[in-house]
Structure formats: C-alpha cells, structure tokens
Structure 1
Amino acid sequence: MQEEQGLFQTDFPPEEFAARRAKVFDAIGGEAVAVLQGAPAVRGFEVFRQFNEFYYLCGVEVPHCYLLLDGRSRRTTLFLPDPALVESPGESPTLAGAAPELVMRLTGVDAVARIEALSEALKEAKLVYTPHCPGEGRAMSRWEARRGNRIAASDPWDGALPREARFIALLRARYPGAEVRDLSPVLDRLRMLKSPRELELLRRAARLAGLGLMAAARATRPGAFEYQLAAAANFVFLTNGARGEGYRAIAASGPNIWLGHYFRNDRQLRDGDLVLFDYAPDCGYYTSDIGRMWPVGGTYSAQQRELYGFVVRYHKALLRRIRPSVLAADIHAEAAREMAEVIAATAFSKDIYRAAAQRMLEFKGHLSHPVGMTVHDVGRYSPEPLAPGLVITVDPQLWVPEEKLYIRCEDTIAVTPEGIENLTGFVPLDLDAFEALLREDSRVNTPMATEEP
C-alpha cells in the first residue's frame, strides 16, 4: 500500500522475524524476559541505521526503540518513541508515527507501545536478558566497537560508560531484584547460520563487491590515486542500490600493502606497484568480503608471480577441502600437507620467500572469519564442524617481514549440504585471467548486479 512505502524493509517477511524471536524464547526459558535497546538518533546529516541485533529480531529502523520478548507469555512488544521527537518536518515518515495495527502487521510483533511504558512492563521481571556487547552500526563490527569503547574509557577527560553498559546499569538500579544476564551469546549463535533469505542478500552483496573490485582493477594505471580505485568500486555499489559501504576500503599500493587494514588511500600509484584491494557494500544490512592483488602496470613481475601465485594456489587447496561436517582445523591440516609438497618442489628465488611459505603451513587463520551483518561477523565457528548456512572467508596470508610484504587473496564462501558456494568466485583468481581483466576497457561504466561479469 502507498501509505506503507518506505516505512519497513521488504527483504524479510514478519514470519521470519517471528521465527527468530521464537528461538530466543526457547533459549531464555519461560521465566525470563529479553530486552533490546535500539540505536540512538544520528547527530548529523546521515541516514539512520539500526543496530544489527535489534534489526535481526524485528527489522524496525527507528531510533530509540526498545524490544521486549516476554518468555512468560512468549509475546513481543515494540516500544516506539514519540514521533515528534524522532521525525522532522520535510523528512520521510517512520514507523514511530504509524498506527499500532499497521506496525504489528508489518513487523509481526504482538503489541506496540510508547517507550514510557517499558518501565511498567519490566516491573515484575526476575530474570532479564539484554545484550552486553556493543551494538553494531554502520560499517562497524563488534571488535571495532569494543576498541572504541576501550579508547574512550582510557581517556581521563572522557571515561563515559558505553551505551550498552549504561543500559545494564540502569536495569540493575531500577530493578534491584532482577538478575541481568547477557543475551549476546544467544543472538550470536542464531546469527551464525544464515537463512535462505539472508543468503540471497549475501549473494547480492558479494556480487556488488566483485563487480566493484573489477571496476577498480580496470581503473588502475600509473598516476592514479588509491582513492580513485575505491571510488570506482563505490560507484558500482551505489548505482546498484547498496546502502553504502560495509566497511572502509582497503586500496593499498606499493609499501602500503604491508598494512593489512590500511585505510588512508591517498598514495599515487606507480608502475611496478602491487595493489591490495578489499571492499564490499552494505546490502540490506548484509555485507561481503573479497580481496585480490594486482600489478599497477598490468603485468605481474616475476617476484609478484612467485609470491601471489603461491598464495592463490594455497587458496585453491583450501577451497577444494571445505565441506560440511568437518572441522576447520582438519581443513587447514589437509591443505598444509598438500602445500608442503608444493614448497618442497618449488625453487624459490630467495630463502626468505621459502621461509614465509613454510610459515603459512602453521598459520591457522586461512579460514578466517564469519561474514554476515558485519564483515567480521559475530560468533566462533571453528570449535564445531562446519554446517550448511555458515558463511566465512577463505583468506590465505603470507608475510615477508624482511621486505615488508603482505600477500593475500580472499573470497566469501557459504557452506552447503554438498560442499560450498563461492559467493565471490566469479572474480578472476588466476594471475593470467586477472591480467586479461586489467587489459579490458577502463572507461567508467555502471555494471549492474543482474549482468554477467
């Protein structure tokens, strides 16, 4: 309906949010309640983005909301702020000003109230679950949020409590008879395995990430700047409907490739440089992860082929072995045995390169991190066998500290019942194929996510 347009997301039906909340009810039990605090209002000219955990359970994009899941009745209440406070004249309306019946129909919650009613709703609770981890906002992962909290806490002129800690303190002060427990581990487990609709968003994010990287590669030439490569990719993201970037661009060249999470992107490219590029969009609260390295001049040097070619071969060895019901440690061990034979048969040009390759056999982070609502998504998958619905990165990495060289290539894969789906696998990986990509027309174009690369 016209009056509903733009008020609520369309990627998930209310039934999916209800199913997620049902799993929370099962986890907290029939004597507890769970309460989540939504993200605060923005303080500038940017579009509001909800915290991931809050969005995951209801899809509501209104600042200063609260969501109460009452395990005693298995009913969910959404507490909305006064629309006069969060809606400005001349801006788009939000669910805060919508009729409660419409809000309940769109979101699937059982009741809607103003935030002033939350105090009464919590009055009789004896066991309250709430996330103890910081909320993840725009282009943010939990670890980056925690780092920001630590920096603020160490500042003698700041030292303010993080928002989530302040909320926990208020719950304990206002309801001294209630026990407050951490809901984050419950939500982390739920977010680890993706639903079919989540996988569709991850496919779209991966598609745009790959198309953006290919556009950046085509725009590479001596004299260009790193930020121009990032701009070429971001142009693809935005013209295909992304909400922005899932994380800041890594567009490192020359000596900057040694910095794994380099972000300044202000160096001018030089012939002979190697580029490390890693960038992905935000598509409906889901992102991706991809990494490739390529030569500025269009042709890999003998040294670049030696090192990057070895990492690409390691990458393929890992991909061949990923399957459900096996441990990540076993996949690492299997790939290491294959690559040990490759090292033994390879005449490396320098002893330090052979030593770097040997160290790769011992590194346990080549199957890197989960990907989902953030690029470094929540949860620890490695202690358990891989399961269908898990989405992680394959990111073999090689370090040559003597020459400040950091070499890697990365894809985002989804574990399936049969093996894997390489979500970013359409982007050239082999060195010859990537050199052919670099020779393609470099004029600015607008590749669409529905087109073949």
Structure 2
Amino acid sequence: MTDATCPAPQPYHQTDFPPEEFASRRRRVFERIGSDVVAVVQGLGASGAFDIFRQTNEFYYLSGVELPHACLLLEGATRKSILYLPPRDAKLERSEGALLYADDKQTAMTLTGVDDVRPLGSLADDVRETRSIYAPQAPAEGRQACRDTLLHARGQIDADPFDGRPSDEAHFRGRLAATAVHAEFHDLSPILDELRMIKSPRELALMRRAGRLTALAVNEAIRSTRPGLMEYQLGAVADYVFSVNGARGGGYRPIIACGSNIWNAHYYRNNAPLVDGELILMDYAPDCGYYTSDIGRIWPVNGTYSPWQRELYSFIVEYHKALLRRIRPGVTADVVMDESAADMEPVVEQTA
C-alpha cells in the first residue's frame, strides 16, 4: 500500500466524552474563578515504565487528553481555554503509534474543544504577567491512587530524613511562581472537587458499567471458589472479567482476604490459601474510563454459611439496607451514616 492510498493515522484520543462536555466543565470553572485570574492545571508526566499511560483524574476531567507533559490554561478575562502540548516525538510515534502533539493544533482543538493549542514551552511567557493564579494543591489522583493514599504517602515522604522532596503540585507551583513573580496563588482543588461531585449522564453510565463489571467479577469469583485455591487466583478471575470487557485493569489493588486476613481492612498480599470453613472477603473493581466502583462481598469458602457466619452476614445485610433507606438527595454522607447508625441500634442490642 502506498502513501497515496494509506490515510494518515489519527492521534489516539478517548471516545467516552465529546468535546462539548469538556467545554461545559471548563465553563463551570470560569464561573467560579472570576475574570481577573487564570487557572493552570498540569497533567501527569512520563513514568519511564512500560505501562499504559493513565492521566490524572483532574486533568482528564477538564480536557480528556491522555498524553504525558500536557498543561491547560483557563483565562478568566477572555474565558479561553489553551492546551499546551509537547513537541512531536517521531521516534516514540514510530514505536507506539500516532499521538497528540502541539503540531496537531487543529486536530487537538477539534478533539478537546479548547480555543487554542500551543507548544508547552510557551506557557511560561503566557503567565509571566499574571497577578492571580488558581492551581490545584491537593495531590492529583492517578492509577490506583486516591487522595487519601496520596496524602498518607506524602506524610511518609515528609517524615523521611533522606527524602522530603516536594510534591508534584508544590514543585509546579514553585516553577509558576518563579515565572509569574507578582502572582498570588489560590487553590483550585476545592472548585474541582465541587464540580466533580455532580455527575453527568455519561459519567453515570461509566459508573454503572464499572458496577456491572464488578458484580460480574464477584459472581465469577464465587463460582470459582473452592478450598485449596489461593486468594490471588480469585483476583485473576476478576482481572479476566475486567479485561475481556474492555476495562483498564483494576481501579485499585484487589483485596481478597480469607479467614483472619479479613481483619486487615486493606489487606493486599492475597497469597494465602482458601480454607474450608472460613469466610472470604473480596473488594475489587475495574477502571472504566477513569471511573470505578467499590463493592465488597463476603461468602463461605465451602459454599455453606455456618450458624455464626450467617448471623454475622445478616448483620451486614441489615446495615446495607439501612444505608440504602437513608440515601437521598440533599443530605451529606455524614448524615446518612449517623441516621443509619441510629437505625442499627436495635439490631445491635438484639444481637448482643
């Protein structure tokens, strides 16, 4: 096939959301930051590993771009969105296929709905005279990482006398401050957190898909369970279900705990055998287009609940029902938890 008959390969770009949805999300950011400021969001850098690149949740939420070393600038005064991309890496493209670079300006604008695309190196000049900058200060969530785990890791780094390196967010803010020397900085994370709490129909569809795949994986794991298997073998069953249905692996590391391992809430070694007469806990869900689920289930290894196991599981089921009864629009998670705890008091007293 000649060049004349072979169409040029198109850069990879996600298909879960249209550019209009990303533009709508950016408009809501503009509404909250005001007109005399800019917001700057940095994407994830290259890891150097032979892995499949996964963008941070925050950067993906605003752009859909899955390329290392990208940045997004939101100009409050003009309400324009400017995407900054690295220059073309011809060697990498020959190896991995077409990617989205600054050279692909029109294509990038069409795919993401931004108003302009510029080389990454021009960001410094564009913010140099800025007096007020919003940038995320909370740790950016990435593959199998949530804010809680990232903050815990941050504490470990800070406590290490031979480490103590700044976070990616602090480093980026420092580089911006060295360029925009007169700028006052504000935290964009609370604004993004608030926006991300309300899900669009497309987001809800991905979340439901993650829930369905989780249920499928748990059902297959239950059917596969028998004494003598290893915990990790049930994880392999779930991984197959996720992958064969198009998910990008697990949304977090699998928790597959048999017997006393259940007492460790985030047990992860999954290297113990399944023992006859014991219970097994499975908590694992897929990454479906940057959205996941969180479903935990407990069942007996031999397929039959003993009397005390049935009593324990019935208690969990009652708590589950209490939570579902109390979940409704207009209340916080703390209210739901407090009301459910009150509903469970008679059950606890009866069990005791």
TM (norm. structure 1) is: 0.73
Contact 1:63 1:86 in 2 (8 A): no
Q: CA deviation at 1:142?
A: 1.2
Note the alpha carbon deviations across 1:75-126, whole angstroms, 9 max, x for none: 0111101122883532122111652111101110000110111011102211
Report the equivalent of 1:168.
Answer: 173
Report the equivalent of 2:35.
Answer: 30
Report the equivalent of 2:4.
Answer: none
Change (3 A) 1:133 1:332: closer
Report the equivalent of 1:49.
Answer: 54
Q: CA deviation at 1:333?
A: 4.7
Higher relative contact order (CA 8 A, sep 6+): 1
Report the equivalent of 2:3.
Answer: none
Residue identity matched to 1:63: P
Output the CA distance in 2 between the equivalents of 1:64 and 1:85: 16
Residue 129 in structure 1 maps to residue 129 in structure 2: no
Output the CA distance in 1 between the equivalents of 2:68 and 2:9: 18
Residue 105 in structure 1 maps to residue 110 in structure 2: yes
Report the equivalent of 2:164.
Answer: 159
Residue 242 in structure 1 maps to residue 247 in structure 2: yes
Contact 1:41 1:86 in 2 (8 A): no
Report the equivalent of 1:271.
Answer: 276
Contact 2:124 2:176 in 1 (8 A): no
Report the equivalent of 2:325.
Answer: 320
Correspondent of 2:25 among 7, 15, 20: 20
The number of aligned residues is 346
Report the equivalent of 2:89.
Answer: 84
Contact 1:205 1:288 in 2 (8 A): yes
Q: CA deviation at 1:173?
A: 2.2
| SS of corresponding position for 1:90 | helix
Q: CA deviation at 1:328?
A: 4.2
Residue identity matched to 1:216: A
Q: CA deviation at 1:212?
A: 0.6
| SS of corresponding position for 2:299 | strand
Output the CA distance in 2 between the equivalents of 1:131 and 1:337: 38
Report the equivalent of 2:197.
Answer: 192
Residue identity matched to 1:89: R
| SS of corresponding position for 1:72 | coil
Contact 1:277 1:292 in 2 (8 A): yes
Q: CA deviation at 1:151?
A: 1.6
Output the CA distance in 1 between the equivalents of 2:44 and 2:151: 16
Structure having the larger proportion of residues in helix: 2
Which residues in structure 2 correspond to 1:264-413 (within 5 Å)? 264-344=269-349, 346=350, 348=351, 354=352
Residue 206 in structure 1 maps to residue 211 in structure 2: yes
Q: CA deviation at 1:184?
A: 0.4
Contact 1:273 1:295 in 2 (8 A): yes
Which consecutive unaligned segments of at least 5 residues does structure 2 have? 1-6
Q: CA deviation at 1:161?
A: 1.1
